[in-house]
Amino acid sequence: MPNTLLALNWKMNKTPSEARSWAEELKGKYAPVDGVELAVMAPALDLSTLVANLPAGVSFGAQDVSEHEAGAYTGEISASMLGDIGAAYVVVGHSERRDYHHETDAQVAKKAQQAQANGLVPIVCVGEKLDVREKGEHVAYTLAQLKGSLSGVGAAVVVAYEPVWAIGTGKTATADDAEEMGAAIHDLLAEQYGDKAADIRVLYGGSVKPDNIALICGKPHVNGALVGGASLKVADVIGMNDALK
């Protein structure tokens, strides 16, 4: 069974100076939990600050990456740039990128391919909106999205299931909802990657907090969480980390 991954997604929050203060506070309070990996997905401008200030054993990554290797793509950040500063992960296909920037499954797959080619582990996000769930089509929809987003992508990947209707709304899918989708995703991964799928972690994302993370991550097919709002305060991060003991 792979380690539990607690991936903290700051979204568009924290200046570099705020990131430094957060990391220094974490350094004074963080105690590693056996079998739990902590990783911070921060805005690109914060990454160099995190390199210098995160406590030992805490990984970091970016929230997006270009689908292109290099060249005339003003404003984009390549996977090689992220790898060069020591990033371990990069989030691709987050629902906000798919919604606001109209990213397709094919683009997400290209970004994941670029990440892997440069030694990064892509965290591939998938999940349904409320209307899809209400129709009972959430499993089929999410698996189709995942299959398209993993086209040409190797097994060195993390999958994050984020029901869009539960992100930043205060609504949370039940632990059983997360398990249902986690099991279905693991089945698809086994079909695609064979024995290598046993090492792939499937995360749940959507209003995860210290008081519900243990229940959600206690399910056999949920291997961690992609955390948004609760990642911004060190006290909440410590609470979630300690809840997984």
Domain ranges of the chain: 4-243
Q: How confident is the model at residue 165 (pLDDT cuts 50, 70, 90)?
A: confident
Whether 94 is a known active-site residue: answer yes
Tell me how far the alpha carbon of residue 22 is from its chain's centroid: 20
Q: CA 223 to CA 3: how far, in whole Å? A: 7
Q: CA 68 to CA 78: how far, in whole Å? A: 7
Q: Report whether CATH 3.40.640.10 matches the domain 4-243.
A: no
Tally of residues, the chain: 245
Q: What is the pLDDT of residue 72?
A: 98
Whether 134 is a known active-site residue: answer no
Average per-residue pLDDT in the chain? 96
Among residues 94, 103, 138, 179, which one is catalytic? 94
Among residues 67, 96, 162, 179, which one is catalytic? 162
pLDDT in tens, 169-204: 767 689 999 999 999 999 999 999 999 999 999 999
Tokens (6 digits) for 165: 């209707």
Task: Map tokens 């970004």 to a residue.
Answer: 111
pTM of the predicted protein model: 0.97
pLDDT in tens, 3-24: 999 999 999 999 999 999 999 9
pLDDT in tens, 52-66: 999 999 999 999 999
Q: CA 20 to CA 14: how far, in whole Å? A: 9
Tell me the average pLDDT across 146-171: 91
User: In this structure, are residues 206 and 166 in contact, taking their beta carbons and an 8 Å threshold?
Assistant: yes
Q: CA 58 to CA 10: how far, in whole Å? A: 15
